[in-house]
A and B are shown apart, each in its own frame.
Chain A
Amino acid sequence: MQLAHQFAIENEKITADMVEAMEFPHLAQRYGVMGVPKTVANGKGVAEGALPEAYLLGNILALVEEDPES
């Protein structure tokens, strides 16, 4: 989870939320959280499990590039 917050601190366009899945089960259900940590970017799943910095960033940027809405 730390990485997402680091991304937010680095770039002011980024907001990073830790969401405790047990306390907000409706959100966990909405995003199909089966395992943690699960990272959701602009409403779309981009990572399951803890990924190294370059991989998580790569997945996030790939989503941003392919999705004109995000």
Chain B
Amino acid sequence: MALLNDSIRAEVQKRFKELKDPVKIINFTQEIECQYCTETRRLMEEIAGLSDKLSLDVYDFVTDKDKAQKYNIDKIPATVIVGDKDYGVRFFGIPSGYEFVNVLESIVMVSKRESGLSAETKKKLATLKKPLHLQVFVTPT
């Protein structure tokens, strides 16, 4: 059974009309899938199927160690949104509710190579000299 119903699929397809450059969704799971690994992988399969600009790579956290290392994946389920480069957009755990919308918006922004931030914020962020790792804790909504 599909995770996304017809009306949500239609909404997402409408949103994805804005996609510009190709985007790859990279999903990490494992052979014996963890509690939310199956749902996350299926969700990404369904999202990837909603636009021909999207593709999906599914890797095994255990056997595809090189890929996990490349994308700094230390836990699963993990999802990475990649465009012409790796923008550092990661989702650990299943993105549901607001975070489902966040996945869609991240895909659109990566595809357009535009963060949508204010000019002031962009200017301030440009002053950053060292790597910054942000982790935002959320709960299912």
CB neighbours (8 Å) of A4 from chain B are: 134, 136
For A5, give its contact among B89, B124, B133 (CB under 8 Å): B89
CB neighbours (8 Å) of A53 from chain B are: 117-118, 121
CB neighbours (8 Å) of B139 from chain A are: 20-22, 36
Interface residues on A, range: 35 or more
CB neighbours (8 Å) of A57 from chain B are: 121, 124-125
For A18, give its contact among B85, B90, B121 (CB under 8 Å): B90
Given A23-B36, A70-B132, the answer on whether A10 and B138 have CB atoms closer than 8 Å is no
- Known contacts A21-B139, A57-B121; 13 additional CB pairs below 8 A are A4-B136, A7-B125, A9-B114, A13-B128, A13-B132, A15-B131, A15-B134, A17-B91, A17-B134, A22-B139, A24-B93, A40-B136, A54-B118
